[in-house]
Amino acid sequence: MSRRLRIRGPNDLSRLSPRSQEAFLNAAEAVSEARRNRTTIAHEVERLRRQGEQVSRDSVRRYFGHDLERGPGGWSVPKPADRSYHGDLRIISTEGVVERPLRGSRARQRVAEHANAVKAFLRGDDPDGNGLDRFSGRRVDGVELETDLGRLEELERQGELDDFILYVDRAA
């Protein structure tokens, strides 16, 4: 089995070969999906492989072994939360759309939930923007999340939110 590597941010990630960077990002996706879907690492690795992604349980253990625990039946499952870096994220903030190297599953979840609330408002599914209320005054990595409806509409008009993809590295 290969040795474990702890990637703490973009500098550590940039030191990896392009192939290892891809393995890291695919392993991060497997961990995130297993946590979100409440499934095992083995299940998510197989699902991602069927979708054509190159990922293995060994790469998940190599990069995220510290975030795993034994679940029912002895299968590897993600811990309820982590403080790991999974890649840079785009945040819809009061400064516009900014990119930040976020660490931690709770921070990533907050940014994703905020982006989903923004999309719901802009699509017209939440015309009053009530879904954004819980993000008012909230900050992630020192950046305040945008909740002003007029400002969000302006960002959309400027094209800032066209084809919005949360993870920077997965947009390329």
All structural domains of the chain with their residue ranges:
10-78, 85-157
pLDDT tens-digit profile, the chain (172 residues): 467 888 999 999 999 999 999 999 999 999 999 999 999 999 999 999 999 999 999 999 999 999 999 998 999 999 999 999 998 999 999 999 999 999 999 999 999 999 999 999 999 999 999 999 999 999 999 999 999 999 999 999 999 998 889 988 654 4
What is this structure's pTM? 0.86
- Structure confidence at residue 169 (pLDDT): 67
Alpha carbon distance 170, 156 (integer Å): 21
- Structure confidence at residue 72 (pLDDT): 87
Please give the C-alpha separations between residue 28 and each of 16, 142, 169, in angstroms, as whole numbers: 15, 23, 12
Alpha carbon distance 78, 30 (integer Å): 10
